[in-house]
Structure 1
Amino acid sequence: MTVRPTPERIPPGIANALDYERLAPQALPAGHFAYIAGGSGEDLTARANRAAFGHWAILPRVLRDVRAGHTRLTLNHASLPHPFLLAPVAHGLLAHPQAELASARAAQAAGACLVASTLSSCTLEDIAAAAGPERWFQLYLQPEPAHTLDLLARAEAAGYQAIVLTVDASLQMASRSALAAGFVLPRECVAANLMRYPQADPTPLAEGESRIFQGAMRHAPTWESLHWLLEHTRLPVWVKGVLHPEDAQRLRQAGAAGIVVSNHGGRGLDGSPASLALLPAVRAAVGPGYPVLFDGGVRSGADAFKALALGAQAVLLGRLQLYALAVAGALGVAHMLHLLSEELQATMALAGCAQLSDITPETLMPAPPC
C-alpha cells in the first residue's frame, strides 16, 4: 500500500508545529504511520525522547529589551536564519510521492540546511538540485570501500558542504508497534543512491558464528573506519549517533568537525537514555566551543530552546519533517519550519533572550512536580 498523494495546501487547524503530528495519521496508511512514529522494540527510548523535555522548565524574565532579537547562527562556516536542520530520513517515499525532493524545496524556501540520507528515495544529485545552498550528506559506510568512495565523490561533486557519518544504526530491532500494524516496506521503497552498486551476497556464517556479531555487525563502523573516512574526503565530517561523553571527547580528538547527540530517534538500542538526558554531559566533555547538534524528539520551539540551553547549537528534525511532508508536502515542511522558528522566537522573547547565545543552562530549572 503506497502513500496517498497530498495536496499542496495547509489544512485548517494547524496552529503550531505539533499539529502536523496530530494530522499525520489521517494522511498516511496505518502501517506507514506506525513505522514512522515507532522506534525499536517496545518504543521505550522513542517515548523517553519526548518525555525528557518535560523534565525541564523555562524561566521567564521581565523588562529585558529584545527588540533587536534574532535567531541567526553560523554553522559549518555558513550563516543560517534559524537553528533548525532537516534530519536525514530514509525512504521519504513512505510519507509523500515526491519524497526528499519536496523536503529539499521546503529547506530552500525556509533557508534551512537539509541533511540528505544515503537511504533516500531520491538520488543525492536530484536532492541537491532542489535544495538550497546549505546541504549536507549523511553517509552509511558501504561494505565495499570503493562504493563509499564513490558516494563521497558524488556528494562533493553535487555541492554538499559536509558529511554526516551515522554510527549508531548498524543493527536495528523492529518496533513491535509497526509489526502489529502490519508494516512491510513497499517494493517501490528503494535506496536510490545505492542502485548503481551491485550488492554482494551475504557471506555465509561458519559453524558456531553469531548472526549478530559475525553477521549483522560484520561491516559496522569502527574507529579505524572513521580515520579512513577522514583521510578520504576533503569535506568536514560530523558524527551522528553519540550519547556517551567519552565517545564525544574521543571524536573531537580524532578530528570530527562536530557531533550529533542522538539515539537514532529510538530506533537503535531500546531502553537507552533520551538524547536530551545526555546532552549536558556531552557538552561538558567536549567543552564550550566544539560544535554539537541535537536530534531526538523536538516538536516545538520550546523543545528546541531546552536543547539549546543544555548545550546544542542547533537541532535536527526527523519525524516532524515526515509528518509535515505527509500532511501538506513541501509547503507543509516549509510551514512547519516557519512555525517552529516563530515558536522559538516567542519562547526566547518571554525568557529574555535576544539571541541564541543568551540561551544558557541558567534559563532552565528542573520542572517542579505537578
Structure 2
Amino acid sequence: MAAIGPRGDGAGEAAPLTLADYARSARARLAPAVWDFLEGGAGEERTLAANTEAFDRYWLRPSVLRGASRPDTATEILGRRWDAPLAVAPVAYHTLAHPAGEAATVRGTAAAAAVPVVISTFASRAVEDLTGRGVPVWLQVYCLRDRAVTRGLVERAERAGVEALVLTVDAPHLGRRLRDVRNGFRLPAGVVPANLTGGDGFADPSVHAREEFDPDLDWTVLAWLRSVSPLPIVVKGVLTGADAVLAIEAGADAVVVSNHGGRQLDGVPATLDVLPEIAEAAAGRVPLLLDGGVRRGRDVLTALALGARAVLVGRPVLHGLAAGGPDGVTGVLRILLDELTDAMSLAGVRALADITPDLLRRSGDR
C-alpha cells in the first residue's frame, strides 16, 4: 500500500470554516488506503451514511426574547466539569494522521477546551505521555482473550491518571470493511499500539481482532472489570433500550449509544434514531453519550434534545490532526464549540439544562 503522510503542503488553501473543510484538507494529505481505513465503514456503508443523514431529519424550533446572548455550554459528567458537552471519541492509531499521534490530539484538545479525550486500546502513543496534559483522559478497553493483558493495560492506565474506562461491547471481531479488503490494507511500518506488545501481529487489524478479541463476552465482564479497577465504567456500543437497562443493571456508570461509527454491523440504525428509545429506558439513571455522525454544532444540540448528555466526535478530530496537527484538532473543536454556542443563542437556549425535546421538529411531523 502507499505510504502514509502528506500528499501536498496545502499551500493556498483557505482557512477551514467547517468540519467538512477539514475533511477535504485531510483527504488531500493522506494516502488513499489510509483515508479509506480511517473513513470507511462496514459492508455497503448504509449505517455509516445513516449516522450523518439522521441529523438532517430534524429542524430546530427557536424561542425568542430569551436573553440567550451568552449561552453556558458547561456540563458535569462522572463528577468532572466539562467546558462543553463533547469529547474526543476513541480511534486507533492516530499516528496514521500525524507523527505525534495521540500526543498531538491531547495537546490540540487542551488548547480548545477542557473536555475528555478517550484513547484507544490501540493508541499509538504511551498512556503515560497522554495524561496530565490539561484534559481528562479516558481509556477505551477491548477485553482480550488473555485477560492478563487487559488487566495490565487497565492497571497501567490507572497509575498514569486515566479517569474512566470505556468498555467497547459491540466488537467480538471487526466488521467486514470492504474498502480495507479491496486495498489489502496493512498498518504501515512503525504504526503500532504503544501500550501492547505483539511484534508484527497487529499489521492486519481484522486478523488480529479475530485472534485476540474475546468473542464470548457477556454482561459478567463488567463485574470482572470492576474487580480490576475502581474507575468508572462507561459501556460503549448500545443500540437498544433493553441493552441499556442490562448495562445499568450490570453496573455501568454511563452508556455510549454507538454503532462504532458504522464500522461493525452494517444495516443497524443511526445512533440518533435509537437515542430516544434508549433515553426512555435509561430514565436518567446514568448519563447517556452518543457518537456517530456529529459534524456540526447544531448536531450536538439535536442529540442533547433527544436525551444525550454529551456527544463523542471521532473522524473529524482525525481530519483536523491530518490537516494541521495539534492546531487542526484545536480548530475542529473550536468550530464545533462556536457553532454550538451560536445555535444555542439563536435558539434561545441559555444553558444545557434548558434543552428539551420541544426544541426539535422531525421532518414530516405536524
Cα RMSD (Å) of the superposition?
2.4
Map of 1:198-347 to 2, 5 A cutoff? Answer: 218-347=214-343
Map of 1:160-175 to 2, 5 A cutoff? Answer: 160-175=162-177
Q: Which residue of 2 aligns with 1:94?
A: 96
- Is the 1:241–1:260 contact (alpha carbons within 8 Å) kept by the matching residues of 2? yes
Q: Deviation of residue 80 (structure 1)?
A: 1.2
Map of 1:24-63 to 2, 5 A cutoff? Answer: 24-63=26-65
* Structure 1 residue 14 corresponds to structure 2 residue 16: yes
- Is the 1:9–1:332 contact (alpha carbons within 8 Å) kept by the matching residues of 2? no
Q: Deviation of residue 220 (structure 1)?
A: 4.2
Q: Which residue of 2 aligns with 1:103?
A: 105
Q: Secondary structure at the match of 2:195?
A: helix
Output the CA distance in 2 between the equivalents of 1:133 and 1:9: 32
Farther-moved stretch of structure 1 (171-180 vs 35-44): 171-180
- Is the 1:293–1:315 contact (alpha carbons within 8 Å) kept by the matching residues of 2? yes
Output the CA distance in 2 between the equivalents of 1:180 and 1:13: 34
Q: Deviation of residue 181 (structure 1)?
A: 4.6
Output the CA distance in 2 between the equivalents of 1:236 and 1:170: 22
- Is the 1:104–1:127 contact (alpha carbons within 8 Å) kept by the matching residues of 2? yes
Distance 1:291 1:314, change over 3 A: same
Output the CA distance in 1 between the equivalents of 2:354 and 2:115: 21
Find the partner of 2:78 among 67, 76, 80: 76
AA aligned to 2:338 is E
Find the partner of 1:112 among 89, 110, 115: 115
Find the partner of 2:344 among 342, 348, 351: 348
Q: Deviation of residue 178 (structure 1)?
A: 3.8
Distance 1:258 1:57, change over 3 A: same
Q: Deviation of residue 126 (structure 1)?
A: 1.5
Distance 1:116 1:181, change over 3 A: same
Deviations 1:3-22 (A, max 9, x none): 23998999523112331112
Q: Deviation of residue 192 (structure 1)?
A: 1.3
Work out the number of aligned pairs and report it: 355
Q: Which residue of 2 aligns with 1:202?
A: none
Output the CA distance in 1 between the equivalents of 2:277 and 2:11: 42
- Is the 2:144–2:213 contact (alpha carbons within 8 Å) kept by the matching residues of 1? no
The TM-score, its normalising length taken from structure 2, stands at 0.91
- Percent identical pairs in the alignment equals 39
- Is the 1:118–1:193 contact (alpha carbons within 8 Å) kept by the matching residues of 2? yes
Distance 1:358 1:342, change over 3 A: same
Q: Deviation of residue 217 (structure 1)?
A: 6.9
AA aligned to 1:158 is A
Q: Which residue of 1 aligns with 2:204?
A: none
Q: Deviation of residue 133 (structure 1)?
A: 3.9
Farther-moved stretch of structure 1 (320-329 vs 21-30): 21-30
The TM-score, its normalising length taken from structure 1, stands at 0.90
Output the CA distance in 2 between the equivalents of 1:175 and 1:144: 25
Distance 1:261 1:92, change over 3 A: same
- Is the 1:69–1:355 contact (alpha carbons within 8 Å) kept by the matching residues of 2? yes
Map of 1:128-147 to 2, 5 A cutoff? Answer: 128-129=131-132, 131-147=133-149
Output the CA distance in 2 between the equivalents of 1:233 and 1:9: 48
Q: Which residue of 2 aligns with 1:124?
A: 127
* Structure 2 runs not aligned, ≥5 long: 202-206
Deviations 1:71-108 (A, max 9, x none): 00111111111112011110111111111110011122
Output the CA distance in 1 between the equivalents of 2:195 and 2:8: 25
* Structure 1 runs not aligned, ≥5 long: 200-210
AA aligned to 1:283 is A
Farther-moved stretch of structure 1 (12-21 vs 253-262): 12-21
Q: Secondary structure at the match of 2:19?
A: coil
Q: Secondary structure at the match of 1:192?
A: coil
AA aligned to 2:361 is M
Q: Deviation of residue 182 (structure 1)?
A: 5.1
Q: Which residue of 2 aligns with 1:206?
A: none
- Is the 2:130–2:137 contact (alpha carbons within 8 Å) kept by the matching residues of 1? no
- Is the 2:93–2:101 contact (alpha carbons within 8 Å) kept by the matching residues of 1? yes
Deviations 1:106-145 (A, max 9, x none): 122222211111101111112225x324111111112222
Deviations 1:280-312 (A, max 9, x none): 100000103421001001011011111111111
- Is the 1:243–1:262 contact (alpha carbons within 8 Å) kept by the matching residues of 2? yes
AA aligned to 2:156 is R
Deviations 1:175-228 (A, max 9, x none): 2234445533223221111127998xxxxxxxxxxx9xx978754432122221
Q: Deviation of residue 255 (structure 1)?
A: 1.2
Output the CA distance in 2 between the equivalents of 1:188 and 1:36: 17
Find the partner of 1:65 among 42, 59, 67: 67
